[in-house]
Amino acid sequence: MAQQKSFSSNLGAIMAAVGSAVGLGNIWRFPYICGKYGGGAFLIVYLCFVFLLGSVLMMSEFVIGRRAQHTPIKAFQALCPKHKAWGLVGLLGIITSFFILSQYLVISGWTTGYVWNSISGTLASLGTDSGAISSFFKEFSTSQWDPVLFLSVFAVLALVIILGGVQKGIENVSKVLMPLLVLLVLVLCVRSLTLPGAGKGVEYLFSPDFTKLTGEGVLAALGQALFSLSVGMGVLLVYGSYIPVNDNIFKTAMWITACDTLIAVLAGLAIFPAVFSCGFEPAGGPGLVFHVLPNVFNTMGTTGTIFASIFFVLLMVAAITSAISLLEALTAWFSEHTGTRRVVGALLFFVLTTALGILFSLSLGSLSHIKIAGLCLFDFVDRMNSIYLPPLCALGTIIFFGWVLPEEDVKDELSNHGTLKIGYYRLFRFLARYVVPVALLVVLVAGMLS
């Protein structure tokens, strides 16, 4: 089989995949839903989901990618040459990556804009007037040029990293940015936890309240577990094809899952104690990051500018290592399929996703009259990206892995050709064949009914 490119070491593979996993989802979504659906109670469910379901999906993508040494579509076809239609699951992954990246660029562009606005002092100049901070964000995000400019700057950064290649680009950048991200989040944690009244935020995050853990909360935990680990988009399949042959896939997946979860919890500790201490209400998503937090930072006086800058740089670092994994999946797939050099695929998908991202961005302002199913383009793609595409692609992948791929191939790959013990295998196989597909079906159906 054609040998794909490869990460240089196990550490490199872990850093790159953690880079993909740790993203906007960890920072603006996890802490909020954790508090909303019962704190410690939610956390227990979430931990079960990431370790028992998410990591199984991650391992299945790694196994398929490393075994096949191909990108999505060809990977499925190479492992099941009699039924080439399985390639459609790979195609779904490519489509999913494409739309997720286009949407991710919009929010990453806002983040880049806020790095600029916090460092230049524009955010601080808004003071603690909530109304002014909210309308600043509204004007910024719906305006014609600013979001487009910052989105483009962010996309160019991602392109430059991808053009550097798998080792010199993705791996080396992740090895620098991931420790930086941990450092930044720790600095913010210390600041946040030492503010007066910080305990309330810690309580919001961790104190278990089982009455708040509704069915909706359990579904939110599952959806978040999948999104946060970047599974169901073919991205980890491509990264799997770069994992060195002697790496232990099980250990690698456990490390990635643990790091992703830890950073999500740390993000919560960096954010909510400060939010409560400054007397604000918790929120999630754009409301948290672009309304509540600038207000929190502005109540801290002059040091607030520094912490605001640190926070938005942190968010941008998290976003860029996720965005490059999506662009890499598209680039690698295109160059394998067409036999062209990486630069061609990278440039093509840079242009396409940036153009689509710009369209989504404009759909929040001047193009808001264009609707699909009653939603503006941005909201429509948001719904597709959160409810339909990733769970569907994940379902196809796990059915292929659990029911089509010969068991000997799976064991051979997990045990590195019989050289590693795989004592976890029976539980793993059971989860992969029964539990994960059923859970994904539930998420899909519940999403469609919502």
Interface with ligand PFF by CB under 6 A: which residues? 20-21, 23-26, 100, 227-228, 230, 233, 235, 322, 325-326
Nearer to ligand PFF, 248 or 322 (CB): 322
Cα 348 to chain centroid, rounded: 22
Q: In sequence order, what DSSP letters do the residues of 294-331 get, joined into one string?
A: HHHHHHTTHHHHHHHHHHHHHHHHHHHHHHHHHHHHHH
Q: Which is nearer to ligand PFF, 126 or 356 (CB)?
A: 356
| Nearer Cβ to ligand PFF (136/349) | 349
DSSP run (H or E) holding 376 = strand 375-376
Which one, of 79, 14, 35, 71, lies nearest residue 404 by Cα? Answer: 79
Q: Which two tokens stand for residue 388?
A: 């339909």
Amino acid of residue 114:
Y
C-beta closer to ligand PFF: residue 25 or 240:
25
Q: Which is it for the CA torsion 50, 51, 52, 58, positive or negative?
A: positive
Q: How far is the CB of 297 from ligand PFF (least distance, A)?
A: 22
Shortest Cβ 228–ligand PFF spacing (Å)? 4
Residues 59 and 415: their CA atoms lie apart, in Å, by 12
How distant is the alpha carbon of residue 431 from its chain centre? 23
CB of 100 to ligand PFF, least distance (A): 6
Closest to ligand PFF by CB, 45 or 237: 237
Q: How far is the CB of 415 from ligand PFF (least distance, A)?
A: 27
Nearest position to ligand PFF, beta carbon: 23
Separation between Cα atoms, residue 425 and residue 333, nearest integer Å: 30
What is d(CA 336, CA 47) in angstroms, rounded to the nearest whole number? 36
Q: Is the dihedral of CA 239, 386, 18, 52 positive or negative?
A: negative
| Residue closer to ligand PFF (CB basis): 133 or 151 | 151
Residue 130 beta carbon to ligand PFF: minimum distance, rounded to whole angstroms = 27
Tokens of 285: 């998503």
Q: How far is the CB of 232 from ligand PFF (least distance, A)?
A: 8
418 by Cβ neighbours in 10 Å (0-12 / 13-18 / 19+) ranks as: exposed
Measured from the CB atom, the residue of 19 and 304 that comes closer to ligand PFF is 19
- Taking the least distance from each CB to ligand PFF, the nearer of 123 and 319 is 319
Helix/strand/coil percentages in the chain, nearest 5? 80, 0, 20
Give 261 or 322: the residue with its C-beta nearer to ligand PFF: 322
Closest distance to ligand PFF from the beta carbon of 37 (Å): 17
Between the alpha carbon of residue 351 and those of residues 102, 124, 355, the distances in Å are 10, 34, 6
CA atoms of 116 and 287, how far apart (whole Å): 19
